[in-house]
Amino acid sequence: MDPLKALADAERKPYWLDSPARPEPRPRLFGNTSADLVVVGGGFSGLWTALMAKERDPSQDVVLLEGRRIGWAATGRNGGFCMATLTHGLANGLERWPEDIDRLERMGVENLDEIERTLERHGVDCSFERTGELHVATEPWQLDGLNDHLDLISDLGLDYVPLDREQVRAEVNSPTYLGGLWERSGCAMLDPARLAWGLREACLRLGVRVYERSPVRSMDDDGVTIGLRTPYGVARGRRVALGTGVFPPLLRRLKHFVVPVYDYALMTEPLTDAQLAEVGWRNRQGVGDSGNQFHYYRLTDDNRVLWGGYDAVYYNGGLVKPEYEQRDETFVKLAGHFYETFPQLDGVRFTHRWGGVIDTCSRFSAFYGQAHGGRLAYAAGYTGMGVGATRFGANVMLDLLSGERTERTELRMVKEKPFPFPPEPVRSGVIQFTRWSIAQADQHQGRRNLWLRTLDRMGLGFDS
């Protein structure tokens, strides 16, 4: 089907947020208030922090300040792949923190298990399905990459199933697949907006005071409490946790470590039973292909296909702007790739198209830290894999604020910071050249040019 025709009626808004389940916003902060802990940010990072602070100590008074609506940003726009990995994949973790990899993998699975238990405990219905993820190869060089990965996995005793061409097509039927790896327990599919709204509800039930449409404009410190000034009020906290993602940071030092990268997605209309039967997909795994520029895709609970990824766009100057959330060039490209992957779904149309901004850092996995004499903690830099990992990051922030040394705070990953990005305009030049090099590698059997090899040697890179 002509991609332009297939997109003609697609709404220009995130599918997950376009739902009757979206709750009315909580009131703005008016006047002054104080609390034991003030959390800034109402995405997964802030929501998990507020919820777990209350679970750790129900007598604590906790305030959460969200600048717009709960879950409106990356949290309500993502693919809904809730992964165990805390390191943006095994290979990245192994390369950076080989001595801790067993522990990081174990802690990641525990984190995912605890997410599942929290949903049960608080009755959060977000269509959580622990289907795992199917990594597929669509080019011979990607098959080599998966086989290398398999060697590592067997050494670490992880639960992956290798699939040859026929076996992978028996799972999900695409003529483009050459082989695959099914990571069985390390990933769940969920509806991210319903997760965010469910966490908000759980926070409210435990007594967290949630204020929406209350952007924090500035911070001050009187030595005992930190004040967070919003347009109509101030919240003072003995402790403060920042879960503000990639937005202009309240702590200046963070701007060196994260850059905004836009990622785009499409949602189809629900597949009919006959269309679904043509694709198979009985085990409903999330799927990711294995190029440097990759697609991710999955079924929703009403059997639509979410299809996203490939272009990861950095706009020169590094600003976050509403107009960047729509990019027709990318939508047309994504639609074309969808029909190449599933020619049997030729008549299927798209109902939604949207983009969202990712907090990319140069090591791809989040970093953590403290300021104001240890009374403020932050976590950022999830680089497109924060649906599950933000809960771990929230626990790190709470550990740091409590002053306790825990297994988490002792990890080198937690103690170290990523390499900073250079300032603009050099930053734009370096990132655009890296993006170009990545696209070239995909067109030349994965061969990485001198620039990418140099970055690899320095442990640096660009990803989404």
Ligand X SMILES: Cc1cc2nc3c(=O)[nH]c(=O)nc-3n(C[C@H](O)[C@H](O)[C@H](O)COP(=O)(O)OP(=O)(O)OC[C@H]3O[C@@H](n4cnc5c(N)ncnc54)[C@H](O)[C@@H]3O)c2cc1C
Interface residue list for ligand X (CB under 6 A): 40-46, 65-68, 72-75, 77-81, 83, 215-216, 243-245, 247, 250, 263, 265, 296, 308, 356-358, 382, 384-388, 390
Closer CB to ligand X, 14 or 179, in the complex = 14
Q: Is the peptide bond before 425 cis (omega within 30 degrees of 0)?
A: yes
Helix (H) or strand (E) holding 298: strand 295-299
Of residues 249, 214, 225, the one with CA closest to residue 64: 214
For residue 277, the minimal CB distance to ligand X (Å) is 26
What are the backbone dihedrals phi and psi of residue 295, each rounded to the nearest 5 degrees, phi first?
-100, 150
Bridge partners, residue 335, by sequence? none
Alpha-carbon torsion angle 371, 83, 412, 404, nearest 10: 50
For residue 201, the minimal CB distance to ligand X (Å) is 17
Closer CB to ligand X, 143 or 393, in the complex = 393
For residue 75, the minimal CB distance to ligand X (Å) is 3
The SS3 call for residue 143 is helix
Closer CB to ligand X, 146 or 394, in the complex = 394
Residue 408 and residue 414 in contact, taking contact as beta carbons nearer than 8 Å:
yes
Closer CB to ligand X, 47 or 271, in the complex = 47
Closer CB to ligand X, 241 or 452, in the complex = 241
For residue 451, the minimal CB distance to ligand X (Å) is 26
For residue 373, the minimal CB distance to ligand X (Å) is 21
Closer CB to ligand X, 329 or 456, in the complex = 329
Dihedral sign (CA 169, 172, 176, 182):
negative
Closer CB to ligand X, 3 or 384, in the complex = 384
CA 142/CA 144 separation, integer angstroms: 5
Residue 15 and residue 78 in contact, taking contact as beta carbons nearer than 8 Å:
no
Closer CB to ligand X, 143 or 358, in the complex = 358
For residue 228, the minimal CB distance to ligand X (Å) is 8
Closer CB to ligand X, 75 or 434, in the complex = 75
For residue 288, the minimal CB distance to ligand X (Å) is 9
Residue 278 and residue 345 in contact, taking contact as beta carbons nearer than 8 Å:
yes
Q: Are strands 187-189 and 367-371 parallel, antiparallel or unpaired?
A: unpaired
Of residues 47, 54, 61, the one with CA closest to residue 200: 47
For residue 230, the minimal CB distance to ligand X (Å) is 7
Closer CB to ligand X, 218 or 445, in the complex = 218
For residue 143, the minimal CB distance to ligand X (Å) is 24
Closer CB to ligand X, 47 or 143, in the complex = 47
Dihedral sign (CA 296, 120, 366, 97):
negative
- What residues have CB less than 8 Å from 106, skipping those under 6 apart? none
For residue 215, the minimal CB distance to ligand X (Å) is 4
CA 94 to chain centre: 20
CA 110/CA 388 separation, integer angstroms: 11
Bridge partners, residue 306, by sequence? 267, 298
For residue 94, the minimal CB distance to ligand X (Å) is 19
- The CA-CA-CA angle for residues 25, 23, 71, to 5°, reads 75
Contacts made by residues 442-451, CB under 8 angstroms, sequence distance 24+? 442/291, 442/292, 442/293, 445/139, 445/140, 445/141, 446/139, 446/141, 446/142, 446/144, 446/145, 446/291, 446/292
